[in-house]
Chain A
């Protein structure tokens, strides 16, 4: 049964079990996201897709909130824009994101969002953490300076490839994505070198060897394709 709701004053009809984010997308309303990627499970971690729902004191993440009949949703208020900008600033301050020399310059979701939100400078103090670059793999590189801990790589490797080579170690701001027992990626016994993690990474943290500045465009068509194919009875 379809449900009707309003998003930013616009009447929208949605499927019964859709999330707010899906319903908004179908209606042509874009809500910013970083951790979410169609075809992977949702974790509700980046908090960029928070929206205001009439009657709810708390902001709700659109990616995991199911539509409810008669819901009145605001996705682009001044308050939300302010929070989103601050979250992006926090990310820029947390690691060493230097777009000008990054392989993903021009193809980076973080950079795009920052531009869309009119980020002219970062007000928070840069933390300049010591972050490594692991180039031990034959074909791929991980640069922790650019990682935003969205865990897309962890999820695609676990949910789609089925290898679970990636996971996260430590906690808080000291968290790092790792392969196997925090071993060099090139030594991984579980990695199939499929490269899905590289393609889903929103920034220049995971990239193909040999790519230089601004050359690392990501290719993600395989993800909805694989999801669709796996739903077909064979």
Chain B
């Protein structure tokens, strides 16, 4: 592949475009509501009316408002239909040819859409994720071409550093610094790894990006490989995401076929191969050292850091690990320049963040917003508040490693530091809204059960501590708990947080700590008043 061929594909695609494009969402959410049938029925209607020359029916990825799906969009009219069914889908074509459409019309001007800033999701819901030509027409792989033929690796790293991009997997480590470390680490081989093991329950950002625009991620990984000097990459995706897996397989095959992955990319000396690895259902594999153990075919158990993967990763070689969304940001940063990216967001957290907004909120779905937007704007303006007139009580961010932020702190701007200050974390981007009917102690117990069942079992505090915390929370939820139990729970939180080996253990107490901080009353109300002072939780006889 050379630049001229890329341009030729783009030209050919542009020419083939038709007057009207009907975009049918075929990401996992809408697919589960008969999205494929809807597309078929629209195609049938188009051909019955003999409109094939005027109308293109395109399979696209996520349009964001998954809760209103299945979604169908019309370009260039800018119409958006929601809750479409295979039965009323044909009427959309009717609407385009002088008749009237029965399908429910959505509002593309709603803050849910208008307040978003699309960088990572710029192509989501627009291009066909299963056709590389669509990606190329949207500018795909042009940046990679520019990078390998015009830039030195150090220039790429400088750009990423200057952009202020921070890891989107949760911890927010500056991406450019990580790349620089890997580039500088001595090693006869280096690896690039993409972490797509999106394990946080209530989060689906990575799934959506992989299903909607897989080439953006592959291109970002290839640029990373060029920058750090790696020729082999692994992309690790959860087995729970079969559609993302199959679209990635397709994308990798197509990119290889076009010479955009493989050896001698763009007639340079740069080689870059990507292999897919499917996770097998272990949350802890989102932790980078556990993920590498899993890629090596072993039990996904973390090991102490240092050494960090950047120095000693896969098979002991320097390894760059970033999350899906991080790689998805690379192309726009290189293309539009680090200054442009750094102009978005807050002082310490640049760019946008993709969130999956779910739970007790009217508009469920995937949103990409500038970092620094307030929680209130997200939950009330984009999300439309709680359904059925209920009052929103809190929002949970960061999954089992995060915390619940109460409504009185909703005016806090969302960035890495401010969320940590509130006892939660940015995390990978799950935002689950809780309303007045949600029992916060039960939520804490839900997360503790999760951590207990997902604990790998290697270190004692996490393995045995989460079991004890779960038992105590159950006791409290079932109104059998005492003040003693609550004290013990807090002591265990402190222990597990400060002594566990990996991030899973160290953050497992967070949902308990944050609910204790903001909703302590709910705990106290559940305590059993009768046995409160007798200390029945008790001291057990020593058996040693």
Contacts and interface: CB of A to CB of B under 8 A. Distances in A.
Given A59-B499, A111-B544, A121-B541, A46 B459 contact: yes
B457 interface: yes
Interface stretch (B69-77, B320-328, B361-369, B465-473): B465-473
Interface in B449-503: 452-461, 463-468, 471, 488, 491-492, 495, 498-501
A121 B499 contact: no
Given A121-B540, A125-B468, A149 B498 contact: no
B501 A124 contact: no
A90 B469 CA distance: 11
Interface residues of B, number: 36
B13 to A, nearest CB: 48
B540 A91 contact: no
A47 B501 contact: yes
B145 to A, nearest CB: 43
B303 interface: yes
Interface string A93-112: 11001111000000000010
A219 interface: no
B304 A44 contact: yes
A148 B457 CA distance: 11
Interface stretch (A6-14, A170-178, A180-188, A209-217): A170-178
A120 B542 CA distance: 7
Interface residues of A, number: 42
Contacts of B458: 43, 45
B456 A172 contact: yes
Given A119-B544, A171-B282, A87 B488 contact: no
Given A121-B540, A175-B457, A90 B465 contact: yes
The winner among B460, B492, B539 for most chain A CB atoms within 10 A is B460
B464 A94 contact: yes
Interface string B39-56: 000000000000000000
A130 to B, nearest CB: 15
A126 B543 CA distance: 10
Given A44-B501, A59-B499, A97 B544 contact: yes
Given A83-B498, A124-B488, A125-B468, A91 B460 contact: yes
A46 B237 CA distance: 30
B504 to A, nearest CB: 11
A114 interface: yes
Contacts of B257: none
B110 interface: no
Nearest to B307: A64
Given A59-B498, A126-B540, A173 B304 contact: no
B299 interface: yes
A226 interface: no
A122 B543 contact: yes
Contacts of B459: 44-47
B460 A87 contact: yes
Interface string A58-102: 110100100000000000000000010011001111100111100
B311 to A, nearest CB: 13
A93 B540 CA distance: 10
A168 interface: yes
B543 A87 contact: no
A90 B304 contact: no
Nearest to B465: A90
Interface string B515-544: 000000000000000000000010111111
A127 B452 CA distance: 14
Contacts of B499: 47, 50, 59, 83, 87
A149 B459 CA distance: 9
Contact of B495 (A46, A86, A125): A86
Contacts of B456: 171-172
Nearest to A170: B457
B452 A173 contact: yes
A127 B466 CA distance: 12
Nearest to B300: A171
Given A47-B501, A86-B491, A172-B452, A123 B539 contact: yes
B460 A46 contact: yes
Interface in B147-171: none
A149 B539 CA distance: 26
Contacts of B466: 172
B468 to A, nearest CB: 5
Given A47-B499, A86-B491, A172 B460 contact: no
Nearest to B458: A45
Nearest to B452: A172
Interface centre among A43, A90, A94, A97 (most CB of B within 10 A): A90
Contacts of B537: 125
Which residue among B282, B303, B464, B540 has the maximum number of chain A CB atoms within 10 Å of its CB? B464
B464 A173 contact: yes
A127 B468 CA distance: 9
A93 to B, nearest CB: 7
B455 A98 contact: no
A127 B467 contact: yes
Contacts of B464: 90-91, 93-94, 173
A168 B457 contact: yes
Given A44-B304, A47-B499, A123-B539, 16 more contacts: A43-B458, A44-B501, A45-B459, A59-B499, A83-B495, A83-B498, A91-B460, A99-B543, A121-B541, A123-B540, A124-B468, A124-B488, A125-B540, A127-B467, A171-B455, A172-B463
10 contacts: A43-B458, A44-B303, A46-B459, A59-B499, A87-B499, A119-B544, A124-B488, A172-B454, A172-B455, A173-B464
